[in-house]
Structure 1
Amino acid sequence: MSLTGHFPHRLLHGDVLVEEYAYRVGPPTGILVLRYPSAERATHFPEARDDHRHQLFWSPDGVLAVRRGGATTHLGPDQAFWAARGTTLEVTTWGAQPVVVACVREMPPQLVGVGAATVELSDSARAALTGLCRPGLPDDHAMDLKSVLLRGVTGPTRLESVGRGTGPAKQVAAAMLSDPADPTELTEWARRLHISLKTLQRDFVREYAMSWTHWRVRMRLQASTALLGRHSVTDVAHRVGWASPSAYVQAFRKEYGVTPGAWARES
């Protein structure tokens, strides 16, 4: 039985100081938890990752943006993103906010066969993740919290990869993910990338099977679902790039068949 508590190692991820909490990482039943404190800017987890462990990404205080191929999604503090080992994806915060990454070699039964998915986290699972980042935590207690965490992961919604290109549209999409309200128009993106507007327009259609305008509207609407219920509809509209809340409500109803308020009540 482990009677002594663990204290975090600290390491640099780029220029961000990361806290590392390791509990019995030798056996396959162990867990490694990385806590990225709030930085001055968005934290970016690129596609290259540790293929020896499954990973669960969670931010307790903000929205995470996840891209896999051409598919994108946003998730709030009640959700996390599951990535089985060998799965390539890109995770970005919206701004300066903490992120916790739990790394395990065990796959919960409810996630067997799931490569990349948005998952719901129960209250106890979120509390367990927070507890695993507490200095001085004994191994035995950590193993109990790990079990609570894995049991509290439910409702996987798969994120399928719908694009494999590496062209300019992908670069624009990656930038927009971390700031859906970015007002930059496609003409300016083309100028920054030193390509013609028509070339960038064609690449968007090739990569996402829709125009830039349609892609941006759908991305902003999907991003807004991670905020509904925690902020007013007016605030959400502004946070994802709509100057007019009424225009946002109209676009949301057209896409999802309900108003943002109704969506928040039903979620």
Structure 2
Amino acid sequence: MSENRHQPQAPTRVQAMAPGEQITAHHHDDHQIVYAGSGVLAVTTEAGTWVAPGTRAIWVPAGCVHAHRAHGALELHLLGLPTSADPLSVDAPTVLNVSPLLRELILVCTRDPDDDSPERRRLRAVLLDQLRASPQQPVQLPTPSDPRVRAVCDLLLDDPADSRTLAELGRQVGAGDRTLSRRFRTDLGMTFPQWRTQLRLYHALHLLAGDEPVTTVAHRCGWSSTSAFIDAFRRAFGETPGAHRRH
């Protein structure tokens, strides 16, 4: 995140992105809604990575330095909002559940960005109301600052299917499991099992965007069975992996 372009106005537009394509680190003076009409979007800051499939959108607050990455062919919808319009009052990127109504409002409001008709202003007002009512979803992979926690995380980032316990991983990096367990909570705000599950879900979204079969994704992400993967995915994203791919 060393590069940091300043774009005073957050753009409103629809943009196609190829698999793996990135938008480098930048920040705006406005708030922005970022939504993937197709594919899977990852927004990264120094604090971590937020992931959004088609059932989620990411709220990026004004001034937040962030970068985008496409997993799969991405139809990116960007909607800039002035700081006076702040329905969430949060100071970090936030993943929001996208209802069918909110999805249609985002799609309409990101087309023809120069339209400032009374009809469009009314639609934006409804969109802000829907954002206020949208449940926030913890689809985030925080970045560790503690070197011992980072060493363990790096091992799993290299191989999300690694099923070793925290004690076994700790022996490889030279730290005890009790110390690591405590550091995961203080450094990342979640337990080691919670972080590993988030990592596996993030990796699963990436693989599904590349049209990998569901059974293969379950195996490569470390779930003991395909049914266990489907259950975890449904709890996290509100739909099965197969339904997610069809969308």
TM-score using structure 1 length? 0.55
2:161/2:220 contact within 8 Å kept: no
Aligned length: 208
Deviation at 1:106, TM superposition (A): 3.7
Q: Note closer, same or farther for the CA distance 1:115–1:184 as it changes in structure 2 (3 Å cut).
A: closer
CA contact (8 A) 1:65 1:93 kept: yes
Q: Structure 1, residues 29-82: CA drift from partner, whole Å, max 9, x if none? A: xx841221143x3232333222x1111110011211233335334221121111
1:34 is matched with which residue?
Answer: 13
Residue 130 of structure 1 and its aligned partner are, at CA, apart by: 1.5
* Equivalence for 2:126: 148
**2:216 partner amino acid:** H
Instruction: Confirm or deny: 8 A CA contact 2:40 2:205 kept in the other structure.
Output: no
The one-letter code sitting in structure 2 at the alignment partner of 1:263 is R
Note if contact 2:141-2:195 (Cα within 8 Å) is conserved in structure 1.
no
With over 3 angstroms needed to count, the CA separation of the structure-2 counterparts of 1:165 and 1:35, relative to structure 1, is farther
2:26, 2:234 → 1: CA distance?
A: 39
Deviation at 1:136, TM superposition (A): 8.9
Once residues 220 and 160 of structure 1 are traced to their aligned partners in structure 2, the CA distance between those partners, rounded to angstroms, is: 10
Q: Distance in 1 between matches of 2:121 and 2:13?
A: 16
Other-structure match for 1:16: none
Matched, 1:163 2:144: yes
Counterpart amino acid of 2:235? W
2:38/2:73 contact within 8 Å kept: no
Which whole-Å CA distance do the structure 1 matches of 2:47 and 2:80 have between them? 25
Change (3 A) 1:82 1:227: farther
**Aligned positions of 1:1-267 closer than 5 A:** 32-39=11-18, 41-50=19-28, 52-106=29-83, 108=85, 110-135=87-112, 138-140=115-117, 141-153=119-131, 154-157=134-137, 162-164=143-145, 218-224=198-204, 235-239=213-217, 242=220, 246-247=224-225, 249-250=227-228, 259-260=231-232, 263=235
Residues 14 and 111 in structure 2, CA contact (< 8 A), matched pair in contact too: no
Contact 2:218 2:225 in 1 (8 A): no
Does the 8 Å CA contact 1:237/1:245 hold for their aligned counterparts? no
- Secondary structure class of the residue paired with 1:115: coil
Q: How far, CA to CA, are the matches of 1:43 and 1:150 in structure 2?
A: 29
The alignment partner of 1:63 has SS state of strand
Distance across 1 between alignment mates of 2:236 and 2:215:
14
Residue identity over aligned pairs, in percent, reads 18
**Distance in 2 (alpha carbons) for counterparts of 1:241 and 1:148:** 42
AA in 1 matched with 2:201: L
SS at match of 1:124: helix
TM-superposed CA distance for 1:135, in Å, is: 4.3
Rounded to whole Å, the distance in 2 between the matches of 1:34 and 1:71 is 25
The alpha-carbon deviation at position 105 of structure 1 amounts to: 0.9
Question: 1:147 is aligned with what amino acid?
Answer: A
Separation in 1 of the partners of 2:206 and 2:96? 13
Distance (Å, rounded) in 1 between the aligned partners of 2:23 and 2:91:
20
Equivalent residues of 1:80, 1:119 under 8 A apart = yes
**2:233 & 2:161 partners in 1: Cα distance?**
29
The Cα of 1:223 is off from its aligned counterpart by: 4.9
Match of 1:9 in 2: none
TM-score (norm 2): 0.58
